Amino acid sequence: MKEKLFIFPFNGNGLEALDCIRGQYEFMGFIDDTPEKKGTHPLGFTVFGREVLEHYPEARLLAVPGSPASYTVRDKIIAGVNTEPSRFITLIHPSASVSPFAKIGYNTLIMAGVVVTANAVIGDHVCVLPNTVVHHDSSVGDYTLVGSNVTIAGNTRIGSYCYIGSGTRIINGIEVGDNTLIGIGSNVIRSVPSGSKMAGNPAKSIQTKT
């Protein structure tokens, strides 16, 4: 018998996660705090409030909140679900290629076409969108969001609480510090300090001066 699964919240990442299940779990529905989202969706699934977790104590959970506006507080949003870590799953789309020598954390979502090669490490509470490549000996820190078609070259460290925009390319052997946002389509060719906001080719700071 397949394990039951809820996805939190009902957002873009959640819908993409639904596509990743592909029979691996019995999908029970989404969980969301927005009253207008609750009820039966035209696509046939149901959106519940958080109380549904109490009615299905055996059900598992995937929490995938986050956007360019909220990437630095994903830990607080996920912690607000108030459930034990053992309840979270790791969900990998069947078309993704994950090396047996790679390490993937819990409550992490790996979408279609992603490639994670040997000795790469993906942390806890991470989302990696379609067709991204994480090369050998690289790491992606906890609570980080990685867009689609991103290339992370070998021996590179991406910190925690980061947002890496789709189409970004990151050169080998550098470090992107915690709490950093990299804009869509950027080319990162040197290490980036924590708390940065970068974009462009090559990527440069886009911090607003006060």
pLDDT higher than 80, residue 135: yes
Sequence letter at residue 94: P
State the catalytic residues: 136
Condensed to tens digits (0 to 9), the pLDDT of residues 148-164 reads 999 999 999 999 999 99
Q: What's the whole-model pTM score? A: 0.95
Cβ atoms of 139 and 120 within 8 Å: the answer is: yes
pLDDT, tens digit, for every residue of 75-101?
999 999 988 999 999 999 999 999 999
pLDDT value of residue 82: 86
Which runs of consecutive H residues, i.e. helices, occur in 70-208?
A: 74-79
How many other C-beta atoms are found inside a 10 Å radius of the C-beta of residue 79? 12
56-70 residue pLDDT tens: 999 999 999 999 999
141, β-bridge pairs: none
Side-chain-side CA neighbours of 62 within 13 Å: the count stands at 32
Q: Of 106, 149, 107, 145, whose CA–CA distance to 127 is shortest?
A: 145
Question: How many Å apart are CA 191 and CA 71, to the nearest integer?
Answer: 20
Domains and CATH numbers, the chain: 4-87 (3.40.50.720), 91-202 (2.160.10.10)
> Which residues neighbour 49 within 8 Å (Cβ) at sequence distance 6 or greater?
31, 32, 33, 38
Give per-residue pLDDT as tens, 96-131: 999 999 999 999 999 999 999 999 999 999 999 999
